[in-house]
């Protein structure tokens, strides 16, 4: 008698769908996270526009064809096909308008607040996420509590109880600062400033052992442990603030490293690379995902405040000029500058996206 397992095709089909789902759900979560960050940014513009008396014609998440929309009062709300951005379209924002509630008819200080609000909301979101992350994790301060056995740094100047205040001339506020500033070093030797017994001490040429990782680069092996901090409401809030400030500093330093050529264009990531990184973080654990989400939202806030055309920072420059001159820059000239900046920004995004796709193809 021949036994035929009629359930086998169904099981195979089920496995196929399971594999597809296991691959797809982290990407879907990553896209959702990306949309939340964009939503918070545009929400900042939207809320302060409403609060300061500016008419908002449309509030949208995404670009391209509209997937669904609805009207509430004077504002249309829409979700569009490509979740790569969003916008808060205010009356008279980019052209002349006779409406008394047009953006251009509001006082300069109000317009500055509205434009800056998106970036500020992103940084506030970063603070909230960082504070939540801090609650279940051990908290520390940059004070040396213990060394590993035969620690090189202990042999070249550092002592237990030292409060690290500077590394290679850059201020240290948190344990995160210590890790990042040591990570930047390439030869295993750094200059440190510490507070020891209440006095400032300069420690030149503190040495560390180096470790070569899979990317072929050499990194410092930190051979000491830092002091834990007692956890309470105020210490958690303080850690949330200082760690968020550290992320802002890290981003500024990274931008500076790109300008000076320390990091190349191929090390930039656009929406494709960010989505991949988020999807990988989703697959690991929620804390890593939240860390990355904090970094991305703060990065979006900081980047948008750069005084570059087409960014919020570029618009702020024109508003500050208007406040100083007591009259606006002619809209056609401002429009030309922002259009040129937008074209260059889109070109950069295409180049970065192409680099991200090549990395995906190569498995990088």
- For position 160, which CATH number holds? 2.30.42.10
81 & 155 share domain: no
Q: Identify the bridge partners of residue 225 per DSSP, sorted by sequence position.
A: 146
Give me the pLDDT at residue 6, please: 47
User: 196 with 89, same domain?
Assistant: no
Question: Is residue 272, in this structure, part of any structural domain at all?
Answer: no
Q: Please indicate, yes or no, if residue 20 is contained in any of the structural domains.
A: yes
- Boundaries of domain holding 322: 8-135+294-362
Place of tokens 């344990």: 175
Which of the listed residues 212, 228, 244 is the one where a domain comes to its end? Answer: 228
Residues 159 and 123 in one domain: no
Per-residue pLDDT at 357 exceeds 70: no
Q: Same structural domain for residues 68 and 55?
A: yes
Residue 107 sits in the same domain as residue 182:
no
- Residue 257 covered by a domain: no
**Tens digit of each residue's pLDDT (9 = 90 or more) over 20-30:** 766 677 778 88
Sign of CA dihedral 297, 304, 116, 96: negative
How much is the pLDDT for 33? Answer: 87
Taking each helix axis from N to C end, the angle separating 286-304 and 8-51, rounded to the nearest 10 degrees, works out to 40
Examine residue 162 and state whether it is found in any structural domain, yes or no. yes
Q: How far apart are CA 267 and CA 50, in angstroms?
A: 39
Question: Is residue 3 included in any domain, yes or no?
Answer: no
pLDDT confidence of residue 340: 84
> How many residues does the structure list for the chain?
364
Kindly state whether residues 96 and 159 are assigned to the same domain.
Answer: no
- Within a domain: residue 205? yes
**Which two tokens mark 63?**
């670009």
Is residue 126 domain-shared with residue 162, that is, in the same domain? no
Of 174, 198, 228, the residue that ends a domain is 228
Domain boundary among 187, 211, 228: 228
Closest CA to 241 of 176, 292, 192, 300: 176
C-alpha to C-alpha distance for 247 and 129, rounded to whole angstroms = 12
Question: Which residues are CB-neighbours of 240 under 8 A, at least 6 positions away?
Answer: 127, 128, 130, 131, 134
Looking at the structure, tell me whether residues 28 and 116 fall in a common domain. yes
Cα-based distances in Å from 84 to 43, 62, 272: 16, 6, 10
Residues 92 and 20 in one domain: yes
* Judgement on whether residues 181 and 163 belong to the same structural domain of the protein: yes
Q: How many separate domains does the chain show?
A: 2
Using left for φ > 0, alpha for ψ between -120 and 50, and beta otherwise, residue 310 falls in: left
Q: Select from 315, 261, 290 the least CA-distant residue to 118.
A: 315
Where is pLDDT greater, at 31 or 52?
A: 52
Q: Which of 315, 276, 332, 255 is nearest to 117 (CA)?
A: 315
27 and 43 belong to one structural domain = yes
pLDDT of 306 higher than 80: yes
Per-residue pLDDT for 276 more than 90?
Answer: no
Give the pLDDT of residue 2.
45
What angle separates helix 286-304 from helix 108-134, to the nearest 10 degrees? 160
Model's pTM, two decimal places?
0.83
One domain, residues 98 and 162? no
Residues with catalytic function: 42
| Average pLDDT over every residue of 21-42 | 83
* Residue 161 domain-assigned (yes or no): yes
Q: How much is the mean pLDDT over the chain?
A: 85
pLDDT greater than 60 at residue 304: yes
Q: What is the pLDDT of residues 157-184, one digit of tens each?
A: 999 999 999 999 999 999 989 988 998 8
Residue 266 is assigned to a structural domain of this protein: no
Give the model confidence (pLDDT) of 43-72 as tens digits. Answer: 999 999 999 999 999 999 988 899 999 999
Helix residue ranges, H only, the chain: 8-51, 108-134, 152-155, 175-184, 233-260, 271-284, 286-304, 312-325, 331-362
Beta bridge partners of 356: none
Q: What is the pLDDT of residue 352?
A: 66
């Amino acid at each position: 008698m021949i036994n035929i397992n009629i359930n086998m095709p169904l099981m195979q089909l089920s496995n196929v769908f399971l594999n597809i789902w296991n691959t797809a759900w982290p990407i879907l979560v990553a896209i959702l996270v990306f949309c939340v960050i964009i939503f918070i940014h545009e929400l900042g513009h939207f809320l302060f526009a409403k609060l300061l008396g500016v008419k908002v014609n449309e509030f949208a998440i995404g670009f391209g064809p509209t997937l669904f929309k609805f009207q509430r009062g004077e504002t249309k709300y829409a979700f569009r096909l490509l979740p790569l951005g969003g916008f808060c379209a205010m009356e008279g924002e980019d052209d002349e308008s006779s409406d008394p509630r047009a953006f251009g008819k509001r006082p300069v200080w109000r317009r500055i607040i509205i434009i800056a609000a998106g970036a500020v909301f992103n940084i506030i979101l970063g603070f909230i996420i960082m504070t939540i992350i801090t609650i279940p994790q051990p908290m520390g301060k940059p004070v040396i509590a213990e060394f590993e056995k035969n620690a090189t740094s202990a042999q070249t100047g550092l002592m237990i109880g030292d409060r690290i205040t500077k590394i290679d001339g850059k201020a240290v506020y948190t344990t995160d600062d210590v890790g990042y500033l040591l990570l930047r070093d390439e030869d295993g030797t750094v200059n440190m400033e510490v507070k020891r017994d209440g006095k400032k001490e300069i420690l030149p040429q503190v040495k560390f052992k180096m470790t070569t990782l899979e990317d072929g680069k050499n990194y410092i092996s930190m051979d000491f442990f830092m002091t834990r901090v007692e956890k309470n409401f105020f210490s958690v809030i303080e850690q949330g603030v200082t760690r968020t400030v550290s992320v802002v500093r890290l981003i500024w330093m990274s931008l500076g490293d790109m300008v000076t050529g320390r990091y190349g264009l191929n090390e930039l990531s656009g929406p494709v690379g960010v989505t991949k990184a988020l999807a990988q973080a989703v697959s690991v654990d929620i804390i890593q995902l939240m860390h990355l989400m904090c970094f991305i939202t703060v990065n979006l806030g900081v980047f948008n405040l750069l005084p570059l055309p087409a960014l919020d920072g570029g618009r702020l420059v024109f508003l500050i000029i208007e406040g100083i001159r007591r009259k606006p820059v002619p809209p056609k000239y401002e429009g030309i500058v922002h259009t040129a900046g937008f074209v260059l920004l889109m070109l950069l995004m295409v180049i970065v996206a192409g680099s991200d796709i090549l990395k995906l193809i190569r498995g990088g």
